[in-house]
Every structure is written in C-alpha cells, then in structure tokens.
Structure 1
Amino acid sequence: MCQKITLSRKGAAHISYCAQCKFIYIWHNNLMLIFSLPQFKSFKKYTESPNFNEDFYSFPDGENRLILRTPNSDICFSFTEDEWTNFYAAMEEAEYMQGVYQLIY
C-alpha cells in the first residue's frame, strides 16, 4: 500500500506523492488524476498555455466554468474560477514541495 505524502491542499484540491510508486495523485471533488512525475510536469505546463486560461464557458446554471480538455475528446473537466484558482495554486505548491522531498530523500 502506498504511503502518500501531502504536497499541497487548496480548497477541494489535494495533491499527494508516493515515494514508493513515484506517482503524483491529484484529488479534486470526484476527480482523481494519477501522473508520473514527467506527466505531472507536462500537464502543469499544458495548463499554463496562454489560451487555456481564457476558455471559460457559461453553463446552464449561469456559472462560468473553465473547460479542461483531455486527450479523450469525449471527456472534459470543468472548474469554476475559484476551483481553478485553488487547483492551479495546489499544482504550483505541489511541484515545489515535490522538489523539496526529492532533495530530502
């Protein structure tokens, strides 16, 4: 069983790392994303693209949400502005903390 180390927690976003299997786990409400370290860095870099942060759409409930497209065109994730702010801040902090843990271990 993995012994996960919490790298960051912001709002509903919780990011942890397992030193045994070397995976980063992102938990957000009903989402769970699992990345290798290179995949995590690639995912984070993708979310930094200039056009990405402008992809807010009005949903039927009247709230604007950012759409995060996945490689499978049938699956997209959506975030309110506050959720996205927390999610992205958690990724920033997790990347930093993972580097710290890598130096320690």
Structure 2
Amino acid sequence: MCETRVLATHGTALISQCAECKVVYIWQNNLLFTFNMSRFNAFKKFVYDLEFDERSLPFPDGADRAVLRSPEDSISFAFTREEWMDFKWALDDASCMMEVYKIL
C-alpha cells in the first residue's frame, strides 16, 4: 500500500490518497474501497444520487440501514443513517481537499 495522506474523516469514514499515484482509499468500519481518480469521482456521484430513505430497510437489530450494492452481486454494504451521512460528508470533504492539493 502507498504512503497516504488523510483527506477527510467523519465518524467511521476516513478517506486518504497516495500523493504519488493518486489512488484514493476509503475506509468505512472494516471495509476498504480503492479507486483511481476517475472511479472515485464516478463513485461519489453515484452515492450522492442516492437517498437514504429510498435505500433503507429494517435490519434484524431494529436499525434502518441503507443498502449499497457492490459490483459483486453477492456483496452489499449497509449503512445506518449516521454512517451514510458521515460517508457522504467525507466524500465531499475529500474532493475539496484534492482540489486544494492540486493548487499547491
């Protein structure tokens, strides 16, 4: 793994990026997403077009969670409302920090 710099943290979401190869790492609890820049931007747009209430359903523990499908049909991710908002805020903040680093 590259040596990364943290771009954003919100709740259990942390987004970092390698200064050299520009790979973006999104850490969410025990999940790790890895993207190049174009895939990160596409993923961010995809997530921002989704609404929690439209994607959520009650889980066995009684909590409502938004389900986000992965490219692998047998794997989906589930976020509580708070995790979902933290995740979206982290994506937004990370994009802003990427722009700052471009300017520098």
d(CA) in 1 for partners of 2:94 and 2:29? 18
1:55 matched residue in structure 2: 55
1:5 matched residue in structure 2: 5
User: Once the 2 structures are TM-superposed, how far is the Cα of residue 103 of structure 1 from its aligned partner?
Assistant: 1.5
- 4+ runs deviating over 2 angstroms: none
Q: Percent identity?
A: 42
The TM-score normalised by the length of structure 2 is: 0.93
2:70 matched residue in structure 1: 70
The residue correspondences of 1:6-85 to structure 2 (distance < 5 A) are 6-49=6-49, 52-53=50-51, 54-85=54-85
User: Once the 2 structures are TM-superposed, how far is the Cα of residue 98 of structure 1 from its aligned partner?
Assistant: 0.6
User: Once the 2 structures are TM-superposed, how far is the Cα of residue 2 of structure 1 from its aligned partner?
Assistant: 2.2
Aligned-CA RMSD value = 1.0
Report how many residues are paired. 102
d(CA) in 1 for partners of 2:10 and 2:101? 19
Gaps spanning 5+ residues in structure 2: where? Answer: none
Contact preservation (8 Å) 2:48, 2:88? no
The TM-score normalised by the length of structure 1 is: 0.92
d(CA) in 2 for partners of 1:33 and 1:95? 15
